[in-house]
Amino acid sequence: MKRPKDDMYNEYLKINKNSSLGEFLLNLRKNINLTQLKLSELLNVSYKTISKWENNVNYPDASLYKKICEVFDITIEEYFNCKINIVERKQKDRMYKRKILNILFALILFPALSFFMLSYFIHINYFKLYNIQYFYNDYGISVSGVCVSHVDEASLYISNIKTYDFQVLKTDIVNISYYYKDKLFFHSSSFEDIKIKSEFIKKCDINNIKIKIEVIRGDKVVYQTGFKLVKTNNSNKKNKKNQFLDNKKVKEILLSQSYIYDKKKDAFVKKIKKKNVKITIMYMLDLGKLVYLEENENYAKNIVYIKNSDFFEALIYLYDNKTRILKEKYNYSYINEEFTCYTKICTTKEDILRLMNNYVTLLKRE
């Protein structure tokens, strides 16, 4: 049965105002604007037969029940009850709308599907934020999404906001602020998927968008971070499913290279001492994380690699009278093959990349 264009459920109420099967069939037919002749053709019976049904002279044969239900889009229960189940239909409609929204969102998130449908009238820039990892709190955050631009406006879809090594409780207060060139243009109070439509993000200028996240528990701020979004060149993405070795194989390799399993940290650990330098390498396989720590009396290097996003962040500190001062901070995306520097200088980035390649390669297939 075709949906009425106006108030569908009011029409259902009218249909349900009947006392017989004939009247029910008559109301159904009128609701979808079918003549007796047209309905007779659909059911392969004479129009006189339809007239007899509607006047309760006789009733449809059992062999026609299924076909009648299909034509009027009703269930067999509704047919025998001579009544549209409005409550059930409302529930189905809600589920239908939710399914359509999920499909539309999936089409936006999957470039291969959405490009051919949308490219005729919009320009699409896909981006993914690789994890920002703060070692000193052992926190991290990852965000993915898509930006769709059309003429002078753009829509930003944010999804899959995840925290690593930090669990947000239901009772926590979450504040997520979105800035474009340091100007606030959107605020959210949850990690749920959102759509942002704003004049600030014309042409999907993703690299100038910054997100600040704050989590308050009770009267204390228990989590706080800020980061910029990064565009992803999806055509150069590797197949992650086949890119990494499974954890079982990696464990075998680590054990063969004298790594020791630390049950407390749930990590495979190796400690190296060279002159006055102490080095600790930790593979946290279940978390998909690799941590490299290097320290002496003059400096400290804290580097964290996140397997899920194929990304690492490096923090380089200098010691001044036992006070640790952040000197360099940057991250590197293996997918984009590019650095993002957050301090005035990032002179050690090439050396750190060569260093991390030695350890990251162990997780990947040749």
Instruction: Tell whether 179 is covered by a domain.
Output: yes
Question: In the prediction, which pLDDT does 336 show?
Answer: 75
Verify that 215 and 306 share a domain, yes or no: no
d(CA 101, CA 195): 12
Regions of the chain where pLDDT drops below 50: 1-6, 112-139, 233-242
Verify that 249 and 228 share a domain, yes or no: no
Instruction: Tell whether 296 is covered by a domain.
Output: yes
Instruction: Tell whether 348 is covered by a domain.
Output: yes
**What CATH number is given to the structural domain containing 50?**
1.10.260.40
5 neighbors 72 (Cβ within 8 angstroms): no
Final residue belonging to a domain, choices 205, 232, 259: 232
Beta strands in 207-353 (DSSP E): 209-217, 220-228, 260-262, 267-274, 277-284, 289-295, 299-306, 311-320, 323-333, 338-341
**What CATH number is given to the structural domain containing 141?**
2.60.40.10
Verify that 224 and 272 share a domain, yes or no: no
Q: What is the pLDDT of residues 154-188, one digit of tens each?
A: 777 776 677 766 788 888 898 888 888 888 888 88
Question: In the prediction, which pLDDT does 279 show?
Answer: 94
Count of structural domains, the chain: 3
Verify that 223 and 246 share a domain, yes or no: no
Angle at 280 between CA 276 and CA 282, to 5 degrees: 175
Instruction: Tell whether 57 is covered by a domain.
Output: yes
Owner of token pair 């490299």: 292
Q: What is the pTM of this model?
A: 0.44
Q: What is the C-alpha radius of gyration for the chain, rounded to an integer number of angstroms?
A: 31
Distances (CA, A) of 238 to 106, 131, 249, 364, 365: 20, 17, 20, 12, 12
Instruction: Tell whether 105 is covered by a domain.
Output: no
Final residue belonging to a domain, choices 209, 232, 255: 232
Verify that 207 and 224 share a domain, yes or no: yes
Verify that 270 and 301 share a domain, yes or no: yes
Instruction: Tell whether 163 is covered by a domain.
Output: yes
Verify that 150 and 78 share a domain, yes or no: no
Verify that 141 and 254 share a domain, yes or no: no
Question: In the prediction, which pLDDT does 31 show?
Answer: 83
Question: In the prediction, which pLDDT does 270 show?
Answer: 95
Verify that 252 and 358 share a domain, yes or no: yes
Verify that 215 and 145 share a domain, yes or no: yes
Verify that 80 and 132 share a domain, yes or no: no
Domain span including residue 13: 8-84
DSSP conformation class of 252: H
- SS3 state at 43: helix
Verify that 213 and 247 share a domain, yes or no: no
